[in-house]
Structure 1
């Protein structure tokens, strides 16, 4: 019970209770103000009537007042006032008010009359000859108004309290129903059903927004699990052959009378395996997006020119032709070394997997708010069915399996592009066209 106010039901119930209490406070205030206003109104009527009678006493004496009271008593049903006039000895002279004359002149808020069964508000005055005048107005109207205000306040208080309880129950039931759906889905996912997703009813409510966010997170986790499964399978498949060769080399070295050559070959194969694992670790590091903490403004135009010029001698030595078209003053936020690795891997891929005489063009331009790096060649390209898996780990087309490499270069390119909020695409033209888009940063921007 101590935690009930931390729940949705408790919060709504608390708000309903506060509203009910506020209504009670407003009703009490209205009751007090109305009560005082009605009493002041009665005092004003009694005072005005008393002054009128005293003025008559000044003009005609006590008999004139008695005569006027007699006429007023005849119209008492209309005026709502009652009178009592007694002489100096206490004998009644006029008036029908059934009440005892107060001992002292002045206002009296509660005067019992009609054999003590009713209350009136009264004003006692003394006439010049010692007679006493009592003018009273019944308090029934005040009591009726007070009673009506109390009843309305009580009804409003009770209604708001009941409404608050009903609203708390309804909101709690709706909230529990939505959360139970999310809870059941979460338990199913914990049990191993990774295909489950949080329920979305299309209302656009807070629950829907949370469910959509959770579903996007689950999709991302599922994608990572799928990548992990594929990587595990690819590692087992692609590293089995080099590990088998390494084992055979070591076995041969153990039984050979001249193990040196076998050991050298085994060392070369172990370095190749270490390079593969280093590339895998590098891809995982980039895919974690932790590298974004080190991003800073840099000139992508200058970076691409530097990398292309570095590779130009290798292209010329292998009989390839390397062209370049770079738009100046293109700036991005990024990691210089990773972007250099991205450009180098793309150029290295074109250099290794195209025949002598192939022309490769590296171009950098702009597309709306993005910088676009394109590497295109006029070589044989890749089969269309191989394009969807071109950027996956250990992905190599059949024509490239005899060339050096472990099929991780383009996977690292894809990871670097994603870390820079960019995208990567490949298409077969006359050869192969690979395009990388990265959001631009204006020169001189903070």
Structure 2
């Protein structure tokens, strides 16, 4: 059953469409009738030109023969109007203001061919073209021509067409639109029922509509995409909640234990100082986790884009690499740096610096003590290729798909320091710079490729 709302909508839509089509039909009819009048008016002007030529070439008598006035006939008013109704034309020849031949009528004639509407008595009204031709010796000819019967029939046909269209089209149009509305309302009702089911199982249920209506299909697809995104965000939220719980539980527990130990060792300053130092380190780890979360949220919000500038990426990488070189040497690792000079990119210098530091810290943390670690920068046509790699054990295959997720750590026991946000921040920085980040396959260790677009590529 169609609802009252949809019925009202169908009536309004049908009436509006009917009125628009009626107006269009009326305008089309008026245009065609105007063209008919223009055609007859053009033919009328050509006829008058022929009369003037006839006067010049053959004289006045020949013109009278053309109008069948050689017998010097004068038609009174009623005969003149009857002649106009039957023959479709009327003529009157004057000398000064005296009628010599033709119609004795009250009809006026314009100097140039103009349309006028006159009454022909029982014949009804008629549209006329009229004109005045001035001759020599004070003579002039008034000529009237009725609208062509074919054009008049066309005008009547257009009027009948408008009448029948107005009479028959409205109910048919409303019925057709009502039928469409019924189908549409059924599809929307089905979609609404499916959404009610989705509300109970948003992670597993999706909408499926059996309709040919492209708008409803598009709506269903958009809803499913929204549900997929909501599920993804919900999954990320659960992962982040679990990650925060895991990363905060241990240090907070240790801080609690330290506070209890401090209470017990208040009389021994040396032991108390040790408790304070260790509690401070655990608290710093908690604060670092929250700082990374705040930083990650700020990066993902995209607000840094407004501060993007073009800068020398080669100089930035070289400066950071030199600062980390002693750290790698002290840890027993070999650090190789290969940088193409004068490579410029458009972005946030501080964020890209943080990306480089995070990946270098990742290499320090997860590579073997005697590992070979490298950092390379190459210049491509529309991008700069940045590569970080090591020849360590690499990342297990089962962990590669999740290594950039928030709080994900391959070390299930979480025995290593860290909070699992380093590579998440790297990915967020890449996304805000429209950079392509990938973890290369079939490598002896962990090799990250980052392709950073140049200013020209970003502007496209």
Is 1:422–1:437's contact at 8 Å kept on the other side of the alignment?
Answer: yes
Partner of 2:23: 21
Partner of 1:126: none
CA distance in 2, matches of 1:197, 1:443: 38
CA distance in 1, matches of 2:261, 2:379: 57
Partner of 1:314: 327
Structure of greater Rg: 1
Q: Which moved more, 1:311-320 or 1:383-392?
A: 383-392
Quote the offset at 1:25 in angstroms.
4.9
Partner of 2:389: 376
Partner of 2:256: 247
Out of 404, 418, 443, the residue aligned to residue 391 of structure 1 is: 404
Q: Which moved more, 1:177-186 or 1:225-234?
A: 177-186
Specify whether residues 30 and 345 from structure 1 end up closer, same or farther in structure 2 by C-alpha distance, changes over 3 A only: closer
Q: Does 1:365 align with 2:378?
A: yes
Q: Secondary structure at the match of 2:387?
A: strand
Q: Aligned-pair RMSD on alpha carbons?
A: 4.8
How many residue pairs get matched? Answer: 387
Q: Secondary structure at the match of 1:437?
A: strand
Structure 2: 5+ residue stretches without partners: 48-62, 89-102, 109-117, 129-145
Q: Which moved more, 1:329-338 or 1:151-160?
A: 151-160
Partner of 1:132: none
Cα displacement string for residues 265-301 of structure 1 (whole angstroms, at most 9, x for unaligned residues): 2222111211111112212222222322222222222
Specify whether residues 163 and 51 from structure 1 end up closer, same or farther in structure 2 by C-alpha distance, changes over 3 A only: same
Partner of 1:353: 366
CA distance in 2, matches of 1:266, 1:230: 27
Is 2:10–2:174's contact at 8 Å kept on the other side of the alignment?
Answer: no
Q: TM-score, normalised by structure 1?
A: 0.69
Is 1:301–1:330's contact at 8 Å kept on the other side of the alignment?
Answer: yes
Q: Aligned ranges for residues 3-402 of structure 1 at < 5 Å?
A: 10=12, 13-27=15-29, 52=67, 54-57=69-72, 105-107=105-107, 110-112=119-121, 147-158=156-167, 161=170, 165=174, 168-169=177-178, 172=181, 176=185, 193-197=202-206, 205=214, 212=221, 215-257=224-266, 258=268, 259-366=272-379, 369-398=382-411, 401-402=414-415
Partner of 1:131: none
Out of 444, 449, 458, the residue aligned to residue 435 of structure 1 is: 449
Cα displacement string for residues 336-392 of structure 1 (whole angstroms, at most 9, x for unaligned residues): 111101111111111222223211110122456432211111122232222222222
Q: Secondary structure at the match of 1:371?
A: strand
Quote the offset at 1:322 in angstroms.
1.0
Out of 394, 406, 419, the residue aligned to residue 432 of structure 2 is: 419
Is 1:31–1:146's contact at 8 Å kept on the other side of the alignment?
Answer: yes
CA distance in 1, matches of 2:327, 2:431: 28
Quote the offset at 1:146 in angstroms.
5.5
Partner of 1:99: none
Structure 1: 5+ residue stretches without partners: 70-75, 83-101, 123-136
Q: Secondary structure at the match of 1:56?
A: coil
Q: TM-score, normalised by structure 2?
A: 0.67
CA distance in 2, matches of 1:197, 1:224: 16
Is 1:331–1:442's contact at 8 Å kept on the other side of the alignment?
Answer: no
Is 2:335–2:372's contact at 8 Å kept on the other side of the alignment?
Answer: yes
